[in-house]
Structure formats: C-alpha cells, structure tokens
Amino acid sequence: MNKARPGFAAIRNGSALPWRDVPASSLAAFQDGLASAMNDELRLCALFALRRGGDADPRLFAVLADDARGELLLGTAAVEGPTFPALTQRCPQAHLFEREIHEQYGLRPEGHPWLKPVRFERPMHADPRTTPPPAIGAAEFYKIAGEAIHEVAVGPVHAGVIEPGHFRFQCHGEHVFHLEISLGYQHRGVEAALREGPGRTSLHLIETLAGDTSVGHALAFGMNLEGLAGLRVGGHAHVVRAIALELERLANHTGDLGALSGDVGFLPTAAFCGRIRGDFLNLSALLCGNRFGRSLVRPGGVRFCIDAAMAGQMREKLQAARRDVTTAVELLWMTPSVVARFEDTGVVSGETGVLLGLVGPAARACGLELDVRADHATGAYCFVQQPTATGHNGDVYARAFVRWLEIQRSLDFVEELLEMMPEPCAVVSGGEVALPGDHVAVSLVEGWRGELCHVASTRGDGRFDRYKVVDASFHNWPGLAVAMRNQQISDFPLCNKSFNLSYCGHDL
C-alpha cells in the first residue's frame, strides 16, 4: 500500500495485482481519498462499477495517475443500496464517469448536477432480449430562455463523411452560449462483448474500438494481458510497437492539420496534408499490410518484424514525408489569415483543463505537461525520450501547434528507433493466453488523441468479469463543449476539428 495514499495500492503502468491486494475502503473513505488526490494534482484515469463473483453489492473501482511518481493507484469500495452520494461536485473529473456508473449499473449518484445518459445503452447485466435500450437522444437538453434565443440541432447524420453524434447549441444570433453534446449512436456493445474473454474476437473488438487508434488500443490490451500472464516482450517487438504507435500519431496529426486548414478555407495545406497523411498510413501498411496497423500488436509481441531492408525503406520514405509535411505545415504559420482565425478561437484555460481532466494534445495545448510516454513510460519509451510538447493559450492555434511539435519529435523518435532495431526478431502469431484468476491489470498508452486507459479484471477461472476501456475522447468531449462557449457558431467546425474526438471510442 502506498503510505501517502491510504486506501490505494500503487502499481506501475502495465502491471497486475491480485484482487486481494487492492484495498477495499468504505465508500466515504474511498471518495475522500479521490477528492484529496485531485487536490494534490493526481488525475482520475478511470472510475467505474463492476460486480465480481461473490459480491453482494456492486463496487466502484478507481484508477488514479500520479504522474510525478510514475505510479497508478488502485482502490475499490462497495456501494450498498441503489444510490450513493455523488463525487462530481467535489471532483468535476468524476462527472462523466458517475453518469456512466448510473447508466451501466443503475447506481444513482445523489446530487449529481448533470445526470443524463452517456451513450443510451442498456444496463450491463440486463438481458438484451427483454430489455430494449433507452430511446436514443431522448434527454432533457439544457435550454436558455429569451425572446431572441434560438436552438440549433445538428446530427446524428452530419454533412461530411463523419461518425454520428448529436449537437445542441443555445444561440443568440451567431453567439453560442452553450453547446450540449449527446452521443451513443456508435454504441456497439464492446465492453459487454469482452466479458468472458479473452477469446478469438477480443483483439479484433479492441482494434476496432476506434479504428484510427487501432495500434494504441491493441497495445493497451496487449500490455494488460502481458501484465496478467507475466509474458515477456522482446526488445525488437517493443521498438516495432513504438514505431507503429508513432506512425499512427503522425498520420492523424498530419490529417488534422490539413483538415484545420480546410476548415478556414486555406486549401494548399489541406490538399498537401491529405496526401501526406496517406504516406504515413502507407508506412503502417508497409510494416503490417494494413494502413491502420491491424494485426500488428499481439499479446506477447508483434506479428511483423522490421528487418534491415525494411528499416532502410522506412527511413527513406520518412525523410521524404518529413520534407513534404514541413513545407505544407509551415505555410500555415506564415499565412496571417490562417493564424488570425486560429488564435483566440475556442480557448480552454489550464484551470478548466485540470478540472475536466483533459488529456493528450488538448491538455498540453493549455499548458498541462502530461504525456503517458514520459510520465508512465513503458517499452521503447523507457530508452528513447521525446520532449513533451506544450502550448500556452489553449486555443485552436495551440492545439494545432502542439500537433506540429509532436509531428517533428515523433519523426526524430522513429528515425532514432529505426537505427537501433534490437535483434533477434521473434514473431508472435496469436494463440490463447492463460490468465491468472482474481487479478486486475491496468495499462495506459499515449494514443494520438491522448491517454487510453484499459482495466482488465479476471474472475476465478481467469476469464474477464469486466474489461473497461477509457478512450481519450471520453475525457475530452466536455472540453469541446466548454471551448465553444461564447464563440461564433461558424467556429464550431474549426473548434471541433481542433479536438478531433472519436465517437466510437466514446460510445464503445
């Protein structure tokens, strides 16, 4: 037990603990512990309910990140009865988590200021044949009254090739007072389907949680299984994994910078980046045959290696891509009309970022220096470090510029790794992994959008009784809503793209 944090056990990223070593507190002590941790600048990575075999009542489980010490703190508390006092007023970071606990387990957080559905899913243990899901989108939306106030409703089907979601703006002319985001349209029942796993579909459900973050989520899943089963991952596999994760970041960041310039009508960078993003995706395909990195990461290692010839080919293509992306993106910062549109648009302050628990480039853009690759490093990130890129203003400009810094650092990092490529390369081609019973494992991965948190809990026979996924988008959607306050509604596409959040990663 961590002496500084009674009621919580400390582990390293990607390791497992027997359930009996996870301290069980009274609910009041558990919540006090979380509140005091927030005061000490720890972060809430996950807070969810589960029911283990033999539990009379469902229990809450929390993962806290102590970034300064590089530790993850785990604690649990039983909830007796159908209600519990909400923590959200004391810790706004708990806001969406407590709504999810209510939706998935029927436990009502009393006093929660914003208790609405998260993704309009059935309760976790309901029989799908007899229990229909709640009617999607049927919620009390926040409303502002007044003669000149009007409401704008957008979605679920949007105007472009985008995932579905619903947005409700309260406007006075062009001015947006409030944006409410209502999701759940992409809910495919992934967490429910992962129970009883791991099985032959598990890894595929993980790889398609959020298709643009296939490598990130597969890596988090792999780390959990490795932590539970005590599997050793070779040096070559660690390097291949890190390269693949950075290629995913490079492709998406480049695409985002192109899309941001498209949204302000600056077509040169939009056109270039659309193509260069493809160059990075094609590098992933060179590595594993799939542009999204599917079938690359396997529990215990990787399915594909990088030999000397491929390393050479990748270096050559990366150099060309670096040249192209530099030319394309530098156009942005040199064009005053672009900079003027980016600056002071969609500002989120650092204080708000902390309260909401933002992660990834959106958090770093408001000056919060947090990055799993540095704070909770695993694999190749323990040996080669990238400086954490931060911005100051928390506006669209900062979110764009942080991406550009990360592109450059990521390119340096991949080029350095391609020089090392430790031998030997051993390919892991799947097969069942036997897991110990009654354990819990936690992994964090810095996906391109930010922190991905996976929690795997096994019952006595080593099967999952709960597999919890927290995508970066889950933390960051409220950030977009806040960024839109007092903006013009015409700035919504720009603000939205500057976060570029995942609907399916949120909806699961």
Partner 1 sequence: MRYPAAAPPPLPERFRGRPLVDAGKCKAGCRVCAEACPTTAIEVGEVAGRNEVRIDLGRCLFCTDCSDACPEGAISYSGDHRLSASRREDLVVAAGEELQLAKALDDRLRRLFGRSLQLRQVSAGGCNACEADVNVLTTVGWDLGRFGIQVVASPRHADGILVTGCISENMVLALQKTWAAVPPPKIVIAVGACAISGGPFRGNPQQLGGVLGAGLPVDLFVAGCPPHPLTILDGLLRMLGRLEKEGRVGGVEPPVRR
Please list every residue from 27 through 46 that binds partner 1, using CB under 8 A: none
What six digits make up the tokens of 199?
A: 């099985």
Report the residue from 188, 195, 315, 463 that binds partner 1 according to the rule CB under 8 A: 188
396-420 and 235-263 are packed helices; what angle lies between their axes, rounded to 10 degrees? 150
Residue 189 interacting with partner 1 (CB under 8 A): yes
Residue 121 interacting with partner 1 (CB under 8 A): yes
Residue 129 interacting with partner 1 (CB under 8 A): yes
Contact flags string 378-417 toward partner 1, x per CB under 8 A: ----------------------------------------
H or E element at residue 281 = helix 267-288
Spell 189-207 as b/e; 16+ CB within 10 A means b: ebbbebbebbeeebbebbb
Give the span between the Cα atoms of 440 and 49, in whole angstroms: 14
Residue 268 phi/psi, 5-degree rounding, is: -55, -50
H or E element at residue 488 = strand 487-488
Q: Least Å distance between CB 132 and partner 1?
A: 8
Of 116-124, 387-395, 413-421, 484-492: span binding partner 1 (CB under 8 A): 116-124
Report the residue from 287, 314, 366, 494 that binds partner 1 according to the rule CB under 8 A: 287
Give the span between the Cα atoms of 57 and 81, in whole angstroms: 8
Of 32-40, 154-162, 168-176, 461-469: span binding partner 1 (CB under 8 A): 154-162
Give the span between the Cα atoms of 211 and 34, in whole angstroms: 32
Of 25-33, 37-45, 144-152, 292-300: span binding partner 1 (CB under 8 A): 292-300
Nearer to partner 1, 3 or 129 (CB): 129
Of 26-34, 113-121, 372-380, 402-410: span binding partner 1 (CB under 8 A): 113-121
Residue 274 interacting with partner 1 (CB under 8 A): yes
Q: Is 78 exposed, middle or buried (0-12, 13-18, 19+ CB in 10 A)?
A: middle
Nearer to partner 1, 159 or 434 (CB): 159
Report the residue from 28, 162, 308, 320 that binds partner 1 according to the rule CB under 8 A: 162
The answer to whether 396 and 494 are in contact (CB under 8 A) is: yes
- Which residue in this structure is represented by tokens 């957008």? 154
Give the span between the Cα atoms of 232 and 234, in whole angstroms: 6
CA dihedral 170, 176, 178, 183 (to 10 degrees): 80
Report the residue from 98, 100, 163, 471 that binds partner 1 according to the rule CB under 8 A: 163
Residue 85 interacting with partner 1 (CB under 8 A): no
Contact flags string 423-452 toward partner 1, x per CB under 8 A: ------xx----------------------
H or E element at residue 122 = none
The answer to whether 313 and 417 are in contact (CB under 8 A) is: no
Q: 110 CB contacts (<8 Å, ≥6 apart)? A: 83, 84, 85, 86
The answer to whether 204 and 219 are in contact (CB under 8 A) is: no
Residue type, 213: T
Report the residue from 138, 145, 148, 161 that binds partner 1 according to the rule CB under 8 A: 161
Please list every residue from 192 through 221 that binds partner 1, using CB under 8 A: 192-193, 200-201, 203-205, 207-212, 214
Nearer to partner 1, 60 or 302 (CB): 302
Give the span between the Cα atoms of 152 and 175, in whole angstroms: 11
Residue 136 interacting with partner 1 (CB under 8 A): yes
Residue 288 interacting with partner 1 (CB under 8 A): yes
Residue 123 interacting with partner 1 (CB under 8 A): no
Binding region for partner 1 (CB under 8 A):
119-122, 128-129, 133, 136, 156-157, 159-164, 184-190, 192-193, 200-201, 203-205, 207-212, 214, 271, 274-275, 278, 282, 285-292, 294-295, 303-304, 429-430, 502-504, 507
